[in-house]
Amino acid sequence: MGWMRGLAVGAVAVAATVGAVLLLRRASLRWGATDDELRMPLAGDDQLPQPDLVATRGISIDARPSGVWPWLAQLGQNRGGFYSYDWLESLAGVEIRNVDAIVPDLQIRTVGDDVNLAPDVALSVVELEEERHLVLRGAVAPDGTDVGAPYDFTWAFVLHPRPDGSTRLVVRERYAYLTEWAAALVEPIEMVSFLMTRRMLRGIRDRAERTASQAPAPSQPDR
Protein backbone atom coordinates (compact mmCIF):
# COMPACT_ATOMS: atom_id res chain seq x y z
CA MET A 1 0.00 0.00 0.00
CA GLY A 2 2.94 2.32 0.63
CA TRP A 3 3.95 2.28 -3.01
CA MET A 4 0.38 3.15 -4.03
CA ARG A 5 0.39 6.11 -1.66
CA GLY A 6 3.73 7.24 -3.06
CA LEU A 7 2.44 6.89 -6.60
CA ALA A 8 -0.63 8.95 -5.74
CA VAL A 9 1.48 11.67 -4.14
CA GLY A 10 3.73 11.72 -7.19
CA ALA A 11 0.77 12.00 -9.53
CA VAL A 12 -0.63 14.91 -7.53
CA ALA A 13 2.76 16.65 -7.58
CA VAL A 14 3.04 16.23 -11.36
CA ALA A 15 -0.50 17.48 -11.89
CA ALA A 16 0.15 20.50 -9.66
CA THR A 17 3.35 21.30 -11.55
CA VAL A 18 1.67 21.02 -14.93
CA GLY A 19 -1.20 23.18 -13.72
CA ALA A 20 1.18 25.84 -12.42
CA VAL A 21 3.09 25.88 -15.70
CA LEU A 22 -0.13 26.25 -17.70
CA LEU A 23 -1.33 29.09 -15.46
CA LEU A 24 2.04 30.83 -15.77
CA ARG A 25 1.97 30.43 -19.54
CA ARG A 26 -1.56 31.83 -19.78
CA ALA A 27 -0.63 34.80 -17.59
CA SER A 28 2.54 35.48 -19.57
CA LEU A 29 0.66 35.54 -22.88
CA ARG A 30 -1.66 38.30 -21.68
CA TRP A 31 0.40 40.26 -19.15
CA GLY A 32 -1.06 43.73 -18.61
CA ALA A 33 -3.71 43.36 -21.32
CA THR A 34 -7.42 43.81 -20.70
CA ASP A 35 -10.04 41.36 -21.94
CA ASP A 36 -11.09 43.89 -24.58
CA GLU A 37 -7.49 44.28 -25.77
CA LEU A 38 -7.13 40.52 -26.09
CA ARG A 39 -10.17 40.39 -28.37
CA MET A 40 -9.71 43.54 -30.41
CA PRO A 41 -8.14 43.39 -33.89
CA LEU A 42 -4.85 45.26 -34.09
CA ALA A 43 -2.68 46.57 -36.90
CA GLY A 44 -0.64 43.70 -38.29
CA ASP A 45 -3.14 40.94 -37.54
CA ASP A 46 -3.88 40.48 -41.23
CA GLN A 47 -0.19 39.85 -41.93
CA LEU A 48 -0.60 36.43 -40.26
CA PRO A 49 -4.35 35.70 -40.28
CA GLN A 50 -4.02 32.14 -38.88
CA PRO A 51 -1.35 32.19 -36.15
CA ASP A 52 -0.47 29.19 -34.02
CA LEU A 53 0.45 31.30 -30.99
CA VAL A 54 -0.55 34.82 -29.97
CA ALA A 55 0.68 36.95 -27.08
CA THR A 56 -0.98 40.29 -26.29
CA ARG A 57 0.45 42.53 -23.58
CA GLY A 58 -0.24 46.09 -22.51
CA ILE A 59 0.71 48.96 -20.24
CA SER A 60 -0.71 52.37 -19.34
CA ILE A 61 1.55 55.37 -19.87
CA ASP A 62 0.93 58.82 -18.41
CA ALA A 63 1.87 60.60 -21.62
CA ARG A 64 0.20 61.31 -24.94
CA PRO A 65 0.91 59.10 -27.98
CA SER A 66 3.11 61.87 -29.36
CA GLY A 67 5.34 61.47 -26.30
CA VAL A 68 5.46 57.67 -26.53
CA TRP A 69 5.99 57.27 -30.27
CA PRO A 70 9.63 58.51 -30.48
CA TRP A 71 10.68 55.79 -28.03
CA LEU A 72 8.96 53.11 -30.13
CA ALA A 73 10.47 54.53 -33.31
CA GLN A 74 14.03 53.88 -32.17
CA LEU A 75 13.61 50.26 -31.10
CA GLY A 76 16.31 47.90 -32.32
CA GLN A 77 19.82 46.66 -31.71
CA ASN A 78 20.86 48.96 -34.56
CA ARG A 79 18.98 51.89 -33.03
CA GLY A 80 18.17 52.76 -29.40
CA GLY A 81 17.96 49.25 -27.98
CA PHE A 82 14.93 47.56 -26.44
CA TYR A 83 14.96 49.24 -23.00
CA SER A 84 15.17 45.80 -21.42
CA TYR A 85 17.68 43.83 -19.34
CA ASP A 86 21.23 44.69 -20.40
CA TRP A 87 22.64 41.67 -18.57
CA LEU A 88 20.29 39.24 -20.32
CA GLU A 89 21.03 40.75 -23.71
CA SER A 90 24.76 40.49 -22.99
CA LEU A 91 24.31 36.88 -21.86
CA ALA A 92 22.78 36.14 -25.26
CA GLY A 93 25.84 37.66 -26.90
CA VAL A 94 23.92 40.61 -28.33
CA GLU A 95 25.57 44.01 -28.10
CA ILE A 96 22.69 46.37 -27.41
CA ARG A 97 22.87 49.96 -26.26
CA ASN A 98 19.72 51.03 -24.44
CA VAL A 99 19.54 54.79 -24.78
CA ASP A 100 17.82 57.20 -22.39
CA ALA A 101 17.24 60.02 -24.85
CA ILE A 102 15.36 60.50 -28.11
CA VAL A 103 17.92 60.49 -30.94
CA PRO A 104 16.53 61.69 -34.31
CA ASP A 105 19.15 59.79 -36.31
CA LEU A 106 18.00 56.50 -34.76
CA GLN A 107 14.32 56.88 -35.65
CA ILE A 108 12.46 54.45 -37.90
CA ARG A 109 11.17 56.45 -40.85
CA THR A 110 9.34 54.25 -43.32
CA VAL A 111 8.07 50.81 -44.28
CA GLY A 112 11.01 48.61 -45.26
CA ASP A 113 13.36 49.91 -42.56
CA ASP A 114 15.26 47.26 -40.59
CA VAL A 115 14.93 46.72 -36.88
CA ASN A 116 17.73 44.43 -35.78
CA LEU A 117 17.25 41.86 -33.02
CA ALA A 118 20.95 41.11 -33.25
CA PRO A 119 23.74 42.29 -35.58
CA ASP A 120 22.96 39.55 -38.10
CA VAL A 121 19.17 39.21 -37.62
CA ALA A 122 16.67 41.89 -38.56
CA LEU A 123 12.93 42.36 -38.60
CA SER A 124 11.38 44.48 -41.33
CA VAL A 125 8.91 47.32 -40.81
CA VAL A 126 5.76 46.25 -42.69
CA GLU A 127 3.27 48.80 -41.34
CA LEU A 128 3.84 52.23 -39.85
CA GLU A 129 1.59 55.12 -38.91
CA GLU A 130 3.24 57.70 -36.70
CA GLU A 131 1.79 57.99 -33.19
CA ARG A 132 -0.53 55.05 -33.94
CA HIS A 133 1.21 51.78 -34.76
CA LEU A 134 4.41 50.05 -35.77
CA VAL A 135 4.39 46.48 -37.13
CA LEU A 136 7.51 44.37 -37.65
CA ARG A 137 7.73 41.02 -39.41
CA GLY A 138 10.04 38.11 -40.05
CA ALA A 139 13.57 37.24 -39.16
CA VAL A 140 15.98 37.94 -41.98
CA ALA A 141 19.61 38.88 -42.33
CA PRO A 142 20.34 42.55 -43.08
CA ASP A 143 21.03 41.61 -46.72
CA GLY A 144 17.47 40.29 -47.02
CA THR A 145 18.27 36.56 -47.00
CA ASP A 146 16.15 34.17 -44.94
CA VAL A 147 17.85 33.01 -41.72
CA GLY A 148 15.90 29.75 -41.80
CA ALA A 149 13.53 30.33 -38.86
CA PRO A 150 10.89 27.55 -38.63
CA TYR A 151 8.14 30.11 -38.04
CA ASP A 152 6.81 33.39 -39.40
CA PHE A 153 6.39 36.19 -36.92
CA THR A 154 4.83 39.63 -36.50
CA TRP A 155 5.40 42.09 -33.68
CA ALA A 156 2.89 44.95 -33.43
CA PHE A 157 3.09 48.05 -31.22
CA VAL A 158 -0.18 49.94 -31.05
CA LEU A 159 -0.91 53.23 -29.25
CA HIS A 160 -4.43 53.99 -28.02
CA PRO A 161 -5.02 57.54 -26.72
CA ARG A 162 -7.23 57.90 -23.67
CA PRO A 163 -9.55 60.78 -22.75
CA ASP A 164 -7.39 61.78 -19.77
CA GLY A 165 -4.36 62.37 -21.98
CA SER A 166 -2.65 59.08 -21.18
CA THR A 167 -1.92 56.23 -23.60
CA ARG A 168 -2.41 52.50 -23.70
CA LEU A 169 0.47 50.72 -25.41
CA VAL A 170 -0.60 47.28 -26.62
CA VAL A 171 1.99 44.87 -28.01
CA ARG A 172 1.05 41.71 -29.89
CA GLU A 173 3.24 38.84 -31.08
CA ARG A 174 1.86 36.37 -33.61
CA TYR A 175 3.64 33.17 -34.62
CA ALA A 176 2.79 30.92 -37.56
CA TYR A 177 4.61 27.59 -37.49
CA LEU A 178 6.29 26.48 -40.70
CA THR A 179 7.53 23.09 -39.45
CA GLU A 180 6.16 20.37 -37.18
CA TRP A 181 8.80 21.07 -34.56
CA ALA A 182 8.47 24.86 -34.53
CA ALA A 183 6.42 24.85 -31.33
CA ALA A 184 9.26 23.17 -29.43
CA LEU A 185 11.42 26.18 -30.30
CA VAL A 186 8.84 28.95 -30.00
CA GLU A 187 7.47 28.00 -26.56
CA PRO A 188 10.75 28.57 -24.65
CA ILE A 189 11.51 31.62 -26.82
CA GLU A 190 8.13 33.05 -25.87
CA MET A 191 8.86 32.74 -22.14
CA VAL A 192 12.10 34.70 -22.59
CA SER A 193 10.21 37.16 -24.78
CA PHE A 194 7.70 37.67 -21.97
CA LEU A 195 10.43 38.64 -19.52
CA MET A 196 12.09 40.96 -22.02
CA THR A 197 8.80 42.49 -23.20
CA ARG A 198 7.59 43.21 -19.68
CA ARG A 199 10.82 45.04 -18.95
CA MET A 200 10.69 46.81 -22.33
CA LEU A 201 7.16 48.08 -21.75
CA ARG A 202 8.12 49.43 -18.36
CA GLY A 203 11.24 50.98 -19.88
CA ILE A 204 9.19 52.76 -22.55
CA ARG A 205 6.68 53.91 -19.92
CA ASP A 206 9.34 55.28 -17.60
CA ARG A 207 11.15 57.14 -20.38
CA ALA A 208 7.97 58.60 -21.89
CA GLU A 209 6.61 59.69 -18.52
CA ARG A 210 9.92 61.27 -17.55
CA THR A 211 10.04 63.18 -20.84
CA ALA A 212 6.42 64.29 -20.42
CA SER A 213 7.08 65.53 -16.88
CA GLN A 214 10.04 67.59 -18.11
CA ALA A 215 8.12 69.23 -20.96
CA PRO A 216 7.27 72.93 -20.38
CA ALA A 217 3.69 73.61 -19.40
CA PRO A 218 1.56 75.12 -22.19
CA SER A 219 1.39 78.87 -22.03
CA GLN A 220 -1.82 80.41 -20.76
CA PRO A 221 -3.59 83.02 -22.90
CA ASP A 222 -3.58 86.58 -21.64
CA ARG A 223 -6.75 87.63 -19.90
Which pTM does this prediction carry? 0.82
pLDDT of residue 145: 54
Establish if 24 belongs to a structural domain: no
Whether the pLDDT of residue 11 is over 60: the answer is no
pLDDT at 27: 74
**Rounded to 5 degrees, what are φ and ψ at 108?**
-70, 135
**In whole numbers, what is the pLDDT of the chain averaged over residues?**
83
Note the pLDDT of residue 176. 93
Would you say residue 161 lies in a domain?
yes
User: Tens digits of per-residue pLDDT, 128-151?
Assistant: 999 999 999 986 555 555 567 889
The CATH number covering residue 44 comes to 3.30.530.20
Does residue 75 sit within a domain?
A: yes
**In what side-by-side order are the strands of the sheet with 167-177?**
53-61, 167-177, 151-161, 133-140, 121-129, 114-118
Interval 43-90: pLDDT, tens: 999 999 999 999 999 999 999 999 999 999 999 999 999 998 765 555
Q: What angle do CA 89, 93, 94 make, to 5 degrees?
A: 55
Residue 130, domain member (yes or no): yes
- Which pLDDT score is estimated for 193? 86
CA distance to 71, 154, 204, 219, per residue, from 170 (Å): 14, 14, 12, 32
Domain membership flag for residue 175: yes
Q: Let me know if residue 106 belongs to a domain.
A: yes
Q: How many domains, in total, are found in the chain?
A: 1
202: in domain? yes
Phi, psi of 156 (to 5 degrees): -110, 135
User: For 161-183, what is each residue's pLDDT tens digit?
Assistant: 999 999 999 999 999 998 999 99
Question: Whole domain around residue 120: which residue ranges?
Answer: 29-214
> What is the rounded average pLDDT of the residues 105-111?
95
Give residue 97's pLDDT band: very low, low, confident or very high (50, 70, 90): confident
- Is 147 inside any structural domain? yes
From 108, 113, 136, select the one nearest 197 (Cα to Cα).
Answer: 136
Q: Write down the pLDDT at residue 90.
A: 55
The pLDDT of residue 28: 86
